[in-house]
Amino acid sequence: MIEGEKLRKADIVTSVIIVLFGLWVCFEAFKMPMKDSWGGVMNVWYVSPALFPLIIGLMLIFLGIYLFSIAIRTVGLQTVVVTIREALREKVQRRWITEPMLRFLAIVSLLIFFVYMNIPRIDFFLSSLLFLVVFIVMFYYDDMVILRKLFTFYLVGSFLFLGYFATNLDTVATKIVEYATDILALVFIVTFSVYARMLAGDRADLRRKYRIAISVALCVPFVLCPIFKYFLLVPLPAEGMIVALMDALYYSIF
């Protein structure tokens, strides 16, 4: 019970960070044109490139508020100020990373790698799946020890990808094996998923959370990608191996 209260207090800080980041994403998305003219034809709002980041930003805001409400119901509204004060005091007095700081670093790192490294270079379906698998599993487990291990595993893999792209190995590998980068991303997703399952061990609660997390992470890109590409006719940022399979399936049916 005490450990649960500590985690809920940490969720207060985390939820505020998520909401603020979601607001920033929406603010940046509104800088994109909602309507534009191409060849004399005016595009409607629902094919705007701002639509997807707006959906992501609004989802982050909603999830942050939901997480905040859960934490408040658990620990009470009076503890909010105390929790924030304690977090600030620990940040000043202690040199190592506190739980709220770890959660903050995990969220920011995931979003930075997702937006600036993965989306432009990896098949959009796979880059979205990677983000969702890591994000949902890490935080849904609700275990700080496991979060540290999973976050470390993700960082190692992401920095390896960063070196892979920085040295232009992706260009060389793609000339040798088609969709080489997407294959590596798929291997990373599977490896992370297997590692997360191993960390769950024989704990029934974590095994149940693992199944739910993987199911949700798979369902979201399976729904969103076809909607944006085939119904809203919005080109995906990077169309690689999985999108090519989707194209083959879609055009063989229609």
Task: Provide the whole-model pTM.
Answer: 0.68
Per-residue tokens: 135: 């994000």
Residues 157 and 119 in one domain: yes
Residue 177 shares a structural domain with residue 231: yes
Please give the residue range of the domain that contains residue 34: 1-96
My answer on whether 233 and 134 are in the same domain is yes
Examine the domain organization and report whether 121 and 225 are in the same domain: yes
Judge whether 81 and 87 are in contact, CB under 8 Å.
no
Domain boundary pick from 50, 70, 96: 96
Residues 92 and 132 in one domain: no
Q: Which of 96, 118, 134 is the last residue of a domain?
A: 96
Q: Shortest CA distance to 217 belongs to which of 154, 115, 128, 146? A: 128
Q: Which of 80, 96, 112 is the last residue of a domain?
A: 96
Tokens at 202, concatenated: 């024989």
Name residue 49's amino acid: P
Same domain for 128 and 63, yes or no, is: no
Same domain, residue pair 80 and 12:
yes
Work out how many domains the chain is built from and give that number.
2
pLDDT digit string, tens, across residues 208-233: 999 999 999 999 888 888 888 888 77
Q: Rg (Cα) of the chain, in Å, rounded?
A: 20
Higher pLDDT, 20 or 82: 20
Calpha distance 225→97 (Å, rounded): 37
Same domain, 72 and 148: no
Percent of the chain with pLDDT over 70: 79
One domain, residues 134 and 253: yes
CB contact at 8 A, 243 and 225: yes
Res 53 pLDDT > 70: yes
What are the CB-based long-range contacts (under 8 Å, 24+) for 62-67? 62/22, 63/18, 64/15, 64/16, 64/17, 64/18, 64/19, 64/22, 65/15, 65/19, 67/11, 67/14, 67/15, 67/18
Sorting pLDDT into bands at 50, 70 and 90, what band is 97?
low
pLDDT, tens digit, for every residue of 154-204?
999 999 999 999 999 999 999 999 899 999 999 999 999 999 999 998 999
- Higher-scoring residue by pLDDT: 80, 127: 127
Burial of 114 (0-12, 13-18, 19+ CB in 10 A): buried
Q: What is the mean pLDDT of residues 45-73?
A: 78
